[in-house]
Structure 1
Amino acid sequence: MKKHIIKLSLFVVLGALVLNSCERELDQISSSSEENSIAMNRPESFRAAVDGAYSAFKDEGYYKGDKKGGGQIIMADIISDNAVMNMNGRGSNKAASNFEFDADNDQVTSLFIAAYHVISRANFVLKYINNGVLTGAAKKNIEAEARGIRAIAHFDIVRTYCKIPTQSSDANKSIGIGYKEIFNPDNKSGTRDLSVEQVYDKIIADLLFAANNITQNDTDKSRLSKSAIYGILSRVYLYKGDYENTIKYGQLSLGISPSITSIDNFKSVWKTTSSTSFDGVLFQIANSPSEGVTVGFAYNQLLKDGYRSEYVVDYDFFNSYSDKDIRKKVYYTTSDYLGNTYNHITKWASVGGSLGVVPIKYIRSAEVLLNVAEASYRKGKFSIALTLLNELRTQRYEGYTPGNESGTSLLEAILQERRFELAFENDRWYTLKRLGLSVNRSGKGFYANGKGEASARQNLEVGNYKWQWPISNSTIQKSNQKIKQNPGY
């Protein structure tokens, strides 16, 4: 049997570890040709290996953007109701935008294998965690980070390719995915042997271990910390419909990292690399011009004549923002391109340096606050929900006067602020899905005045099989036919 060899440096794992979801075999060859077991006999190798697991998010274009945009940064918005295809653009991701999903369309299938690659790197660390090189708190922290990464990637797979527990009454017992806990590069028999409920239980078990054992670290946002793990737990529990634990872990996260980004710093978070750019960020995927993912490229490219957009913000959605809302000024740019005016999506457009290469925010405290606000409402804690909602709005609207919504109007306000806040941040599709809502687009066109041709498909009804994306045919073929395809494909 071929030996699998790893190249380690102090800060990064170079190359790609073998994907244990049964997809591909890519050896890592070190300059000294060390076998894995030898390389992992040094304490510093564990930090290098776990940093390699973090780097896998970027290497995979954050599921899977091929370093020219795309991936999860754009998909959740272009297949929902936040974005409109610019018919004067190149037509990128058109099939996905029109709900034309199939098992040969890598726009929606690539996440599956790319996320398992991240999991493989995390499991490589865990394979050697008990070899005696690390002990005590150092060992627990490395294990906590690896299990946290593993949980995140599994969660992103299961919410995409499977039903979400709150989506429908049959979701918990429906087909889940395989939860990969062992680094096994020669495994070519991937299965979907767990129910959705069982997958969520394993995700939560990994996250709880991470929360209990990780060393608190709020200075390096590209690594997991207690506050980040607590925040991710609040997200997972919200999807699970466990609102008490959504509140519990959300409050723990906000107790450590209470800032939801001040209105004065909000632009800096998205447009600069200054110290204020971390305000309210819990965990982000590091990104650099030399090897980074050009996140902003997914939406538009800045050329000599201005922004050429592939997708623009929906006309009705754009106009539902108040002019006093700082997010409207930071997320969007209204300008001309070749004689036509568009509402460009520039949330991920960097200022200076390499265009569109910015750190990818995975979770922010503002989302956690919204998780807790929604969960509080659903548990009948209306005053808490309103207080949290007003806390967010105070930091987003100039001269804001606290609102006093009640009843269903309060829930609607919370969900509206969620849409405003997390637009183009990989949330909208999943929010509609977990709430069991349909996609209902406005029917408006792509020009800034709402004119122009609208998308071919305007609606996706509740219960449509396309709420669960297809697994690629090539993945199924290479798995000895043991991965079951989702119904309808």
Structure 2
Amino acid sequence: MKKVTSRSYNFRRAAVAAMLLAAGTSIVSCKDFTELAPISLASEESAFASPGNIKLAMMGVYESAAIGTYQNLKSSARGYPFGAAAIEQGEMRGEDMLNIDQFYAITYEGGANPTSLNNVTMWHTLYALINQANILIEGVQKAGAKGVITDAEAKAYEGEARFMRALSHHELLVHFSFPYADAAGGKWGVPYRTKAITSLAAYEEGLKMDRGTVKDCYTKLIADLDFAEANLPDKQPDGAQRATKGAAIALKARIKQHMGDWDGVIAESNKLIPAAAPYKSPIGAFQLTAEPDGPFTSYKNNTESIFSIANGPNANGGSNGALPAMFGPASLNGRGLVATSPILYNASFWKATDKRRALLQVYQPTTGSRYYFNYKYRDYTTRADWAPMLRYAEVLLTAAEAHARKGENDRALALLNAVRNRSVEVGDQFTTPPADLVLAILQERRIELAGEGRRWADIHRLALDAVYGFRGIPAKMKKEQMKLDGTDYNAVTPPTFPTTGGVPSYAYESFRFLWPIPAEETAANPTLRAQQNKLSD
């Protein structure tokens, strides 16, 4: 009998333990999560023996989404996979934020390998979360059949778990697989796991699963989200920290955007966007906040946040992972590791008087360390800022792109302006479509979603776009190219930076474009061993 060595399969203790956590990340600490005693099968079954336990099990799934263990260390929480890490890794794989220290150098410079910790931990914690969702799905199906909860309640819980399963698999796809546009999704995907692995027999069965194709994975993503949409409520009593019908629709719109299915994007988005302004969703009552900082000054209770991962004072990514720690300036008690890059700050398309400069950027005046930092995450004391996963602004911009791609410029411009006009002065507003409306929408995404982890996802999906794609990873700035006296940031008369000394661009064909499957995984899984991504050029 084989020994189970891969952490991606060896989930049972962590998965069941997390299900029994008390609800709410402000109550449960990381220490509680990682130091529970081993759980017996009887205890696993008890997790679904009462309505109260089932809710705790569901909250345990969200808790694991916020705080996975780093390097499998019980005492080390870094906000994996979605509490902070997905956002940080998504930004560091792009060019719009600047790596200041060595903390994110491997990700930032494209040096990931099968044992480098950030990419390895993302793989492990995403699959651990997927397995936990699968355990919950099987548990609530049985609980529903036994009458512990109603059939509708069972399906609603299953919808939440399937939403999280889809969110996790899609995160894996944008890092470990080529985009859908490559040969119409015919490249290798990632193992799309839909069965709970709680025993050696289930582990052995799991070893038979290959990566499938990207197209196969996207078909399963849509199926999971169709189920979620059909069975989730419009609103949750716990707010945006739990999946809703609107969240399932918004995620479907994002996924269809990655597929280049513009008709599909419009069909999904129209469920959330009325035909005319003011745009207030008929499902969930989502609408833009009056000011662009609204979703971040009141991250627990605002009209724009569709789905967020809850962090709390006692459960967050800590000083080595939490969003305000990583993105916050040292002058405000952050660690100052990731700043806004002059590539974005000085971009000609970001107007100098845009409100988002004053409201969502903060300047560190320290001599020799003068940077602008993202100011969306600002609880530098308790690090309780929630991690935004889906916002109504993104839905509007995703729909705008789809309409523009189809030549429906009036609708596209109206949706773009709904987001843009709350931040720019009247003289800078578009009254007619710009010459390249799609480009204007893509540029608006870079400004509006800066610091929310969407930059890499856009680079990835657009990589092969003949007009808007980089066909690889764009060049980035390095700290060493800057003068650090404050003059590096000037939106009116941008400085000229040295042409050498930065992080070079990398071609789509380079091994650096995709993260490799962890060595620990390929050592345990002979099927994936033969399907490893390119490891060198």
Match of 1:279?
Answer: 303
Residue 326 of structure 2 corresponds to which residue in structure 1? 298
Quote the residue 2:94 is aligned against.
80
Report what 1:8 is aligned to: 20
1:376-391 aligned within 5 A: 376-391=403-418
- Residue in 1 aligned with 2:139? 128
Cα RMSD after superposing both structures: 3.2
What 5-or-longer segments of structure 2 have no aligned partner?
2-9, 274-280, 464-468, 489-494
Letter of the 2:401 counterpart: E
Deviation at residue 56 of structure 1 after TM alignment: 1.0
State the secondary structure of the residue aligned to 1:107: helix
Confirm or deny: 8 A CA contact 2:355 2:424 kept in the other structure: yes
Contact 2:87 2:453 in 1 (8 A): yes
Alpha carbons of structure 1 residues 462 and 478: separation in structure 2 relative to 1, 3 Å: closer
Q: Residue 507 of structure 2 contacts residue 513 of structure 2 at CA under 8 Å; is this kept in 1? A: no
| Number of the residue aligned with 1:40 | 48
Residue 324 of structure 1 deviates from its aligned partner by: 2.6
2:103 alignment partner, SS class: coil
8 Å contact 1:98–1:455 — kept in the other structure?
Answer: no
- CA distance in 1 between counterparts of 2:152 and 2:159 reads 10
- When residues 401 and 193 of structure 1 are mapped into structure 2, their CA distance, relative to the original with a 3 A threshold, is closer
2:296 aligned partner: 270
Distance 2:508 2:298 in 1: 40
After superposition, the Cα gap between the structure-2 partners of 1:479 and 1:442, relative to the gap in structure 1 and judged at 3 Å, is closer
Give the distance between the partners of 1:376 and 1:61, measured in 2 at CA.
Answer: 41
**Residues 326 and 181 from structure 1, CA distance in 2 versus in 1: closer, same or farther, beyond 3 angstroms?**
same
Partner deviation per Cα, 1:329-372 (whole Å, 9 max, x = no partner): 2332123224442222333222x642x43100011010111110
Distance 1:258 1:238, change over 3 A: farther
Moved more, 358-367 or 49-58: 49-58
Q: How many residue pairs are counted as aligned between the two chains?
A: 469
2:117 counterpart of 1:103: no
Aligned to 1:331: 360
Matches within 5 A, 1:469-480: 469-480=515-526
- Counterparts in 2 of 1:274 and 1:58: CA distance versus 1, 3 Å: closer
Instruction: Measure, in 1, the Cα distance between the counterparts of 2:351 and 2:153.
Output: 48
Asked if the contact 1:315/1:449 (under 8 Å) is kept, the reply is no
Relative distance call for 1:268 and 1:42 in structure 2 (3 A) is same
Does the CA-based 8 Å contact 1:49-1:121 persist in structure 2? no
Structure 1, unmatched stretches of 5+, are 17-24
- Are 1:216 and 2:207 an aligned pair? no
Shift of 1:52: 0.9
**How big is the shift at 1:443?**
4.8
Structure 2 SS opposite 1:129: helix
Corresponding letter in the other structure for 2:23: F
Deviations 1:112-164 (A, max 9, x none): 11111111111111112232222232122111111111111111111211011
Q: Which residue of 1 aligns with 2:506?
A: 460
Superposition pairs of residues 43-54 of structure 1, within 5 angstroms: 43-54=51-62
Q: Does structure 2 retain, via aligned residues, the 8 Å contact 1:119–1:180?
A: yes
Please give the alpha-carbon distance, in whole angstroms, between the structure 2 residues aligned to 1:400 and 1:212. 44
Structure 2 Cα separation of the partners of residues 218 and 400 of structure 1: 41
TM-score, normalised to structure 1's length? 0.86
Secondary structure (helix, strand or coil) at the match of 2:403 reads helix
Determine the structure 2 residue equivalent to 1:226: 245
Tell me the equivalent position of 2:193.
Answer: 180
Code of the residue aligned with 1:486 in structure 2: it is N
Q: Could you report, residue by residue, the CA deviation over 1:197-220 in whole angstroms, capped at 9, with x for unpaired residues?
A: 001101110000000111221551
Q: Which residue of 1 aligns with 2:448?
A: 421
> 2 CA distance for matches of 1:379 and 1:389?
15
Give the secondary-structure state (helix, strand or coil) at the position aligned to 1:397: coil
Distance 1:440 1:67, change over 3 A: closer
Superposed CA offset, 1:181-204 (max 9, x none):
111123155443411100110111
Q: Distance in 1 between matches of 2:168 and 2:65?
A: 9
Counterpart amino acid of residue 535 in structure 2: G
Comparing 52-61 with 356-365, which one deviates more in the overlay?
52-61
Answer yes or no: is 1:206 the counterpart of 2:224.
yes
CA distance in 2, matches of 1:62, 1:148: 24
Residues 394 and 400, structure 1, Cα contact 8 Å, conserved in 2? no
Deviations 1:363-406 (A, max 9, x none): 10101111100111112212111111111112222446641454
469, 474, 482: which one aligns with 1:440: 474
CA 1:10 to 1:312, structure 2 compared with 1: closer, same or farther past 3 Å?
A: closer
Residue number among 105, 121, 134 corresponding to 1:94 in the alignment: 105
**What is the CA–CA distance in structure 2 between the aligned matches of 1:61 and 1:298, rounded to whole Å?**
17
> Given the superposition, is the C-alpha separation of residues 384 and 62 from structure 1 closer, same or farther in structure 2, using an over 3 Å criterion?
farther
Q: Is the 8 A contact 2:299 2:386 kept in 1?
A: no
Distance change >3 Å, CA 70–CA 472, structure 1 → 2:
farther
Structure 2 residue corresponding to 1:60, chosen from 57, 68, 74? 68
Are 1:449 and 2:487 an aligned pair? yes
The yes-or-no answer on 1:319 pairing with 2:346 is: yes
Structure 1 contact 109–472 (Cα < 8 Å) conserved: yes
